[in-house]
Structure 1
Amino acid sequence: MFKFKMPLLLMASWLLFTNPLLASPNELQAVGTSQVKAFFARIYEATLKTPDGRYQANRYPLALEIRYQRYIAKEMLLNVTDQQWRHLGVPAPERQQWLTQLQKLWPNAVQAGDTLTLYVDAKRGNRFYYNGKPLGGVNHARFGEQFLAIWLSPKTSRPDIRQQLITPRKPT
């Protein structure tokens, strides 16, 4: 009986460490980075990550990591997120459903140095991480795509940021 357990353990280990559905943001490679400013003040730095360090629309898994450079209250984060979804034409019922879930997930505020990362897996499931610790996800099939659209959609309000995120970094 023991000789059958070893191959199963090896197979389970292989799936756990090589399956892209189970990957984490830490296993992805940076594509591009953008410094986001408002009135010359640094707000955050965003980094887009994919398995191979190259962006292709609608290819998952991927992660967007936001490293904050100043204090921002949760209500401000939610308001700005809602504004961006309005700009993209996301219907009000979806926006309200998602904002209600984000209200429960996100921390009360972010400080300089904090990171908030959205990871979307190959099946488009999503989960947030706050300073590397899992917070949970939003239970809706389109959420991950629509949250990322704030930065990655061709219709984004900040095409300059989009371009910096999807353009691969030059090797140093």
Structure 2
Amino acid sequence: MRWSLLLCSLVSFYNVAAVPDPVADALNAPAQIGEARFTYYLWDVYDATLYSPQGQWKNQPPYALNLTYLRDLKGEKIAQRSIDEIKKQGFDDAEKLAIWRQKMTQIFPDVHEDDELLGIAVSAQTTRFYHNGNLIGTVDDSEFTRWFFAIWLSENTSEPEFRQKLLSGVEQ
């Protein structure tokens, strides 16, 4: 009995410890839903982990997506790639895309191997971004929140297998 109680305590501690601090602060009882590795041609780019309250996906905020980079990338390229992917989703308001690109370029730093960029949809209106656990910017725009996370989570994503791994809890 004591061993099973100790084992349960250790498992609970491990699950709580695995959640990044900003996620634990922003989500009620956060838990991992799934994870996936994004590879572009032959290059591993980042590992992604999706979190939500109680690990339940409801397709509405709050939720968090953590990207752990496996290579060095310029923040400006990350912002541009995000815009390209939002366009692929069907969003075509050129004025808003330019505003969003500018905001992301200001927010996203250059990343190096093992750096983490974390996006938290804290509400339908607000997205917060963290770099290695430190708040680096906030975007208060419901359309941005919806379209930004659609890059990975929409049924229309350019990477449906990646999405499936994030949402189903299937490891790569």
TM-score grouping bracket, smaller chain normalisation: 0.7 to 0.9
Q: TM-score, structure 1 length as denominator?
A: 0.79
Structure 1, unpaired ranges of 5+: 1-22
Aligned residue in 1 for 2:97? 95
Aligned residue in 1 for 2:11? none
Within 5 Å, which residues of 2 pair with 1:2-151?
24-27=22-25, 28-58=30-60, 60-90=61-91, 91-107=93-109, 109-151=110-152
Aligned residue in 1 for 2:3? none
Bigger-Rg structure (1/2): 1
Pairs aligned (count): 146
Give the aligned CA root-mean-square deviation in angstroms. Answer: 1.7
Q: TM-score, structure 2 length as denominator?
A: 0.79
Structure 2, unpaired ranges of 5+: 1-20
Question: Which SS does the other structure have where 1:45 is aligned?
Answer: strand
Percent of aligned pairs with the same residue?
27
C-alpha deviation, 1:116, in angstroms = 0.4
> What is the CA deviation profile of residues 109-159 of structure 1, one whole-angstrom value per residue up to 9, with x for unaligned ones?
100000001111145321100000001211322211211000001011110
1:70 alignment partner AA:
R
Asked if structure 1 preserves the Cα contact closer than 8 Å seen for 2:125 and 2:140, the reply is no
Asked if structure 2 preserves the Cα contact closer than 8 Å seen for 1:54 and 1:168, the reply is no
C-alpha deviation, 1:74, in angstroms = 1.5
CA distance in 2, matches of 1:128, 1:168: 23
